[in-house]
Structure 1
Amino acid sequence: MTELLQTPLHALHQSHGARMGPFAGYDMPIQYPDGVLKEHLHTREAAGLFDVSHMGQVILRPRSGELADAALALEALVPVDVLGLKPGRQRYGLFTTPDGGILDDLMIANRGDHLLLVVNAANKDADFAHLKAHLDPVCEVEPLDRALLALQGPKAEAALSALDPDAALMRFMDVWDLRPEGIPAVASRSGYTGEDGFEVSVAAESAVDLAQRLLEDPAMRLIGLGARDSLRLEAGLCLHGHDIDQETTPVEAGLEWAIQGARRRGGARAG
């Protein structure tokens, strides 16, 4: 049996009484002593802190130095307007097969001189290989070994802005450099629960420090993957491998909203 991987917050989860279990090759917190229902409701009413460090983070850096080259190269793999994505913004995307099936869904951010992608944990090795196979002549494909923390719920903004006031200025789908309590971070105003919130990428060695500082806020609680799943189901959000897969097209999945006009039939870069 393959030994399960651990995120940088593994010991923190155990110290808070998490029930751990396997997910996408990692030993992850499924729930804490309060249970899934209370964790679900707490996120809807206050703020939840989720460890999503198992997900894949990867940089696409154009070899030419021109971000447009990386954007156009990535557009060959996703039916999304990457070229039109403004600096400091991100959007949802889909890796598709030649027949239109969904290989994975992902987030794509314009970081000025590179693109930052976040992909699903269960598919990240395949996604990294897919990117390298198709984009290597145009882009350097750099998987990142960083932690990723999701703060979700109506009080998430207050918790993060107490550590860095700039967080309160971010709009939905913004991606900014922040320094919560001096910790360098890349934060997006997004999430996968249907609530307002943030996903915060930090160096692995800073993850525990940031998590502990966030948990000092009385509104913030650790939330496991069980409640993360129930929250995204309640919000009508798809999970690859369960609700969508290579046999599902974006139209069949109700995800045609993720395909911008420039990439649709009759658009400037249809396909």
Structure 2
Amino acid sequence: MTLFIQLITIPQNMATRLTEPVCRTNSTQAQNNESDPDITMKKTTTALLLLTAMSLTGCGTVAIMNKSDAVKAQPEMMVKTDGDFWGLGKEGTFDMAGQYHGQYTRSASNSTWFNTLSFKDGAMGATITRNDNNETWRLVCSGGGVSVNYMGVSLGGNDPYVCDIHQNDKKVGEYRIEPQNNMINIGLAQSENGSVRIGSTHFNIETVHTGEGMIMPVEKALGYSFKRGNQEVGAAQTNGMITLQMLPDLSDNEKDLLAVATIASALSWRPEE
């Protein structure tokens, strides 16, 4: 009811402002405008128009994935690229909070910039370099498949999404994630889980489909949760922006693994895309 009252008291020049996010209005102005006969006559139309505008703009907000309190309290490492990041583009470079940098190519079946590494159709390749010591990892990723969703039931598309992790031209690890159900997934959320490993360092991965203030899960993942057993050690937000948060007491190897896993997760190129 409060939302409706605020919506019907927008000034008369509202038509030129419908493309702006509408999140809140001044309550005093709302009370003063309530007596305006022109606004009152058009309150139903105004409400419908603004509700439509809000649904298109998302009210200028981004759904933030749920995280454990311990991870949520940590600083965000923002991932930035040199191009139109959303939607990503087929290739580009990235920087992760000044601590890691790299380049990526998506849908890389015709790419030769990795030279000795070959790609399959629908693959993604990336290099991730740690800035303080120039240690570099290379990702060669493919898989995922195409699923069909009919009235909340997902059929097919159950191939795992797999990234081989290379260092000094040798495979040193793997990122692997796949749907939780082998045949049919009932419900809206397309949940996936898996693991990521470099050497003996290993974390489990789960997609996250619930967010702050949301009343139900969404179909596409808002981000990825990285766990050691049942403890969340890091989380990568991939909806609307890409950030990584991790526990402060992790080893350098564990931090490197989370950086690599974030790039593998956020820049994944699935056949349905």
Which of the five TM-score ranges fits, normalised by the shorter chain? Answer: under 0.3
More strand by share: 2
- Scaled by the length of structure 2, the TM-score of the pair is 0.23
The two structures have a TM-score, normalised by structure 1, of 0.23
Instruction: Point out the structure with the larger helix share.
Output: 1
